[in-house]
Chain A
């Protein structure tokens, strides 16, 4: 069965600290996709990254970076030099890779609430 675990319920840091949000997934598929979404206080989910199971290269986008390791089934997210605007709930999600006419069920973790204090 597919499952996504975000063990950190809440994290609190001071501005400019680096912070890593952990994500561990379970799937029996060989083709799958992993996602990170940000949910600010306004409620909408903001897409951050999508990564397929065949691409284990780490990715960096500004202050954000992602570490995908199939050997440990992890897809961790690091924010470097955190800012108050990074305060939000962050969700990791998994979808299977089977093509099904445009639909792919997303399995979400419980989310990690990040609070960045000035």
Chain B
């Protein structure tokens, strides 16, 4: 089955610690994304990557870092510099149908809680 796998589903972190969220896709999509969702809010873009070894900051990149060493993988590290990391994190990948028409597929999310 093709899809996007995020792990773990729930993650607890102590203040001051870095933590890495995993995202793997076997859809052969070039583009991948990380979004953050807070209660009562829509999704906000953290980072995105259009191709291997390249990534760009989204709207709320401060306190986060990513890597894209393989097409299938786009891990997100939440660093101690992120002041309010408790949130639901969604990974996505997308296919472009040409002329800008695109469709994004989402993983099941990781719920991060700082304790």
Contacts and interface: CB of A to CB of B under 8 A. Distances in A.
Interface residues of A, number: 31
A51 to B, nearest CB: 10
A43 B8 CA distance: 13
B4 to A, nearest CB: 9
> Interface majority SS on B: helix, strand, loop or mixed?
strand
Nearest to A45: B106
Interface stretch (B18-26, B61-69, B77-85, B89-97): B89-97
A99 B99 contact: yes
B113 to A, nearest CB: 14
Contact of B105 (A47, A93, A99): A47
Interface SS, A side? loop
Contact of B96 (A37, A44, A99): A99
Contacts, number: 84
B40 interface: yes
Residue among B50, B100, B111 with most chain A CB within 10 A: B100
12 contacts: A44-B108, A45-B92, A45-B106, A52-B101, A97-B99, A97-B101, A99-B98, A101-B30, A102-B29, A102-B94, A104-B94, A108-B44
